[in-house]
Chains A and B, each alone.
Chain A
């Protein structure tokens, strides 16, 4: 029974926190605490650390410009450790113990799904910065990344325009790729495209020779890639050494941005298309300033990417909503947020009142030999977010699944 004492004191600490005064932020302080909750270790750290860095940059800039409501923002950083229950646990800690005004965090849908009940239960706010599979709209989450009709559907439109008639779907085995592929299959069925195969691998999987053999055997016009994290490195290395090229079989990825290209090796991915809303090369005045500030803070060799930009935006959008509401109180901020429009690095971003997603411009880019991404296609204007794809007749029934 040697272990009983730490467990007991842990329970006691938990009970004491639970007796605290709830989520109301301390009003008399001249600081506002905000939580940053990303995986700083484990398989997702490769991606999530950079989002945290971008959020810290936004906090620093806002503080330099005088803070929010005359108060300085103080980040409380926690590690979700690429482990979904840990995300829920750390979210609870940030809300109950640190009493943060809002949380910026998550990357994988699994981590968001794990945090969602926590934020709904304590009526606290989460700003989620990554493109995802849609079919969700929590009143306590703001989604600053793309939903499917701002990334996946434009990606499919692009492939269709390029004359690609058959697809092979490759993804990591969790909620985002599986849902994304349901949408892709529904799109294909009504757009005269055939799906030649659909394969999933566990997160962190590194052995792709069998999968690549299946892809090569099926001979699709293009591959739609929803792999996440380190698996992309193994997949592209093994795809290339098996003779796969961007000319004969382009692999359209929705989880590879500038930051991942270096780790995969430019040689292995150059020429392949990606679908996002922002690239480091996106030509707006706000982006010039963002890229400059980011490089000044973290080093000239660093690159900026879509999820980083969405995380960076999230802090500004929340700050704007707080200014409009005149308080950090969650319900007031939620009421103030709809309609807020800011010129961000990706262009005009507007918070949608119906579903707390953002109006965003879709962009398809090609990975260049220098590791940056060149835009080759865009949607002309910000697309209204439609997480349940109500505006697409072929998607009827998907939301119910």
Chain B
């Protein structure tokens, strides 16, 4: 297959990575509007969970719990006091992210650690290695799970209700505080799952989160806040754009091109790909 055709599956696989790291953010940032700069460190917590367990599959649920509980603690202890103060939240969570990075450095050391890839992921189909296909599968599974949760479960529908109109949801008897807690738990947990998957292709070290956080926000913003299908489309589009931009130029320029395209796009559609239809009058 000519090299430029290879870029198509490569673009999709880059999109899957973007989607996986952004999925949790569609909850915490997309649904709740919390700019959580420590999201990357929840990804890192997931990766270190895989390192401690040494088993990828077992690490997936455990990392979800570990990162989820970290998110829960962060939300209850700090973030909930800063709702409706986005700039303060940004500073607060950025500080938390630095603290967590240093904590990882103290616990696991500054050098990267190695998570052995399972032998059944060696090899591949065509240009795509099995570990890339695994990540794509995980991203699809994650999207399906989130979609089912939001639209088919009582808790998920309550989450949507709170996002669309907090006051009305509260007067209908929904405990919005509990919903916030749960939403933050799931969003952070998903970051942990992404962290486990990323050990297959990237470094596992204290700075891991910083490599992915900007891309994660990019996907959520381009996709439209609170929009699952927006995040999916944005991730795939950015993945393909990245793949071909880098193929025809280089990695540094590709980054510039991707940012330029997203900025230009947001000029035309400041709300992102999809707009949340909300009954909030503000």
Contacts and interface: CB of A to CB of B under 8 A. Distances in A.
A263 B247 contact: no
B10 A241 contact: no
A230 B112 contact: yes
Interface residues of B, number: 45
A131 B212 CA distance: 30
B250 A199 contact: yes
A144 B261 CA distance: 45
Contacts of A216: 3
Chain A interface size range: 35 or more
B251 A205 contact: yes
Interface string A362-396: 00000000000000000000000000000000000
A234 B124 contact: no
Given A237-B200, A237-B202, 16 more contacts: A49-B110, A199-B251, A200-B251, A202-B255, A211-B246, A211-B251, A213-B247, A230-B202, A233-B204, A241-B129, A241-B130, A241-B201, A242-B124, A262-B114, A263-B113, A263-B205
Given A45-B105, A233-B202, A262-B111, A213 B251 contact: no
A295 interface: no
A265 interface: yes
A283 B252 CA distance: 42
Interface in A40-66: 40-43, 45-46, 49-50
A-side interface mostly: helix
A210 B10 contact: yes
A42 B207 CA distance: 6
A243 B205 CA distance: 25
Contacts, number: 132
B-side interface mostly: helix
Nearest to B3: A217
A264 B129 contact: no
Q: Which of A41, A49, A213 has the most CB of B within 10 A?
A: A213
Contacts of B250: 199-201
B259 to A, nearest CB: 12
Given A200-B252, A214-B3, A263-B205, A206 B211 contact: yes
A209 B7 CA distance: 9
Interface in B2-24: 3, 6-7, 10, 13-14, 17
B210 interface: yes
B102 interface: yes
Nearest to B215: A207
Interface string B253-276: 011000000000000000000000
27 contacts: A41-B206, A43-B207, A173-B251, A173-B252, A200-B252, A201-B250, A201-B252, A202-B251, A202-B252, A204-B210, A209-B10, A209-B243, A210-B7, A210-B254, A213-B3, A213-B10, A216-B3, A231-B203, A234-B202, A237-B202, A241-B132, A242-B129, A259-B111, A260-B111, A260-B112, A263-B203, A265-B117
Given A206-B201, A230-B211, A241-B132, A46 B112 contact: yes
Interface in A139-187: 173
Contacts of B211: 204-206, 230
Contacts of A259: 111
Contacts of A173: 251-252
Nearest to A48: B110
Interface in A1-53: 40-43, 45-46, 49-50
B242 A207 contact: yes
